[in-house]
Amino acid sequence: MEKPNIAILGATGVVGREITKIIDELKIEYKTIKFLSSAKSAGTKLEFQGREYTVEEATPESFDGVNIVLASAGGSTSQKFAPEIVKRGGVLIDNSSTFRMDDDVPLVIAGVNDEDLRKHKGIIANPNCSTSQLMLVLKPLHEKFVMKKLLVSTYQAVSGAGLKAINELSENTKASLNGQDFTPNAFKKPIAFNVLPQIDVFCDNGYTKEEMKVVNETKKIMHLPEDLPISCTAARVPVYNGHSEAVDIEFENPVTPDVVREVLRHSYGVEVIDNPENYEYPTTRDASGVNPVFVGRIRKNLAFENGICLWCVADNLRIGAALNTVRICQKVIEMGLY
């Protein structure tokens, strides 16, 4: 098969820039590559693999002859361009939530449910960041012990909300330290020195959309029964990058912390740091800028009979978005699905 022509849609954004870096790191082979944005950043010069590229404004014609589009330009942009990409025979790997729950769109974490990629009809969705890091941890544990119930609390970094949010944490922090007033814009409340128990809008059931993404996407990716009990509380914390999650899992089968450590030590994409006596456990600083999902604080869960508690940390811009997008692209190429 010929090498693909690739386009990065949203190339000037937080996720798009990371996608560009990872295409280089994973040595993705392509025939041509182009970088697309809105009119705002069109004309920006970008250095990639020793060559200078000019970012172009995305139009339907931008996708002529393009085989694979890696998109992180927001839901409405994906919605607008998806039919244009598919009509031209391209495959869209999308970071927005727009298509994730569509029946004919595979929702994939590379290394977890790669076979679902074969069912694509032109669109493949990348899961939400907090779901993504969890899947690499849960899949091997579910295979061995069979998951019965799942409770997740997330502590999510501001980079998950884009450039505007990153800048707002800096500005808000400076203002607070200088005793100045600050009006939040990217968030509903001040993010500096604060924890916000809201990510995305509230649903009728009292959960936020972010929390329901964890519930629904987990079931879709892991092919779990619809009635398997899953609950999530998602909070935004004043951390630049790296999401943390406290996870409580009940299994059908007996389980011990030692066996969980052993299983996770041999699992794809996971690294165990779990030696609390020496203060060895994963923090967001360990996870930012690198690929593994780190797991620590593995212990017997006192609330469930066959239960485990664990703490899991990862770079939300990598495994939660860009890394998985590029890994999907790699699989699509390897499996000849473009």
Ligand X SMILES: NC(=O)c1ccc[n+]([C@@H]2O[C@H](COP(=O)([O-])OP(=O)(O)OC[C@H]3O[C@@H](n4cnc5c(N)ncnc54)[C@H](OP(=O)(O)O)[C@@H]3O)[C@@H](O)[C@H]2O)c1
Which residues sit at the interface with ligand X, rule CB under 6 A? 10-16, 37-38, 40-41, 58, 72-75, 77, 95-96, 129, 159-160, 162-163, 316-317, 320-321
The residue with its CB nearest to ligand X is 13
CB of residue 177 vs ligand X: minimum separation in angstroms? 25
Return the ∠ at Cα 99 (arms to 238 and 89), rounded to 5°: 125
Mark whether 309 is an active-site residue: no
CB of residue 17 vs ligand X: minimum separation in angstroms? 8
CB of residue 261 vs ligand X: minimum separation in angstroms? 28
- Which CB, 100 or 142, lies closer to ligand X? 100
Q: Can you tell me which residue has the tokens 């092919």?
A: 223
Mark whether 243 is an active-site residue: yes
- Which CB, 95 or 218, lies closer to ligand X? 95
Task: Say how far apart CA 70 and CA 48 lie, in whole Å.
Answer: 16
CB of residue 219 vs ligand X: minimum separation in angstroms? 19
Closest CA to 308 of 140, 133, 155: 140
Q: Can you tell me which residue has the tokens 């002859």?
A: 65
- Which CB, 91 or 309, lies closer to ligand X? 91
- Which CB, 122 or 162, lies closer to ligand X? 162
- Of 142, 232, 243, 329, catalytic: 243
Task: Say how far apart CA 144 and CA 195 lie, in whole Å.
Answer: 35
- Which CB, 11 or 255, lies closer to ligand X? 11
Taking each helix axis from N to C end, the angle separating 209-222 and 129-145, rounded to the nearest 10 degrees, works out to 40
CB of residue 298 vs ligand X: minimum separation in angstroms? 26
Task: Say how far apart CA 178 and CA 151 lie, in whole Å.
Answer: 39
Q: Cα torsion at 319, 85, 120, 115 (round to 10°)?
A: -40
Tokens in use for 238? Answer: 């004043």
Tokens in use for 30? Answer: 């392509």
- Which residues, at least 6 apart from 24, have a Cβ–Cβ distance to it below 8 Å? 48, 49
Would you name the residues annotated as active-site residues? 129, 243
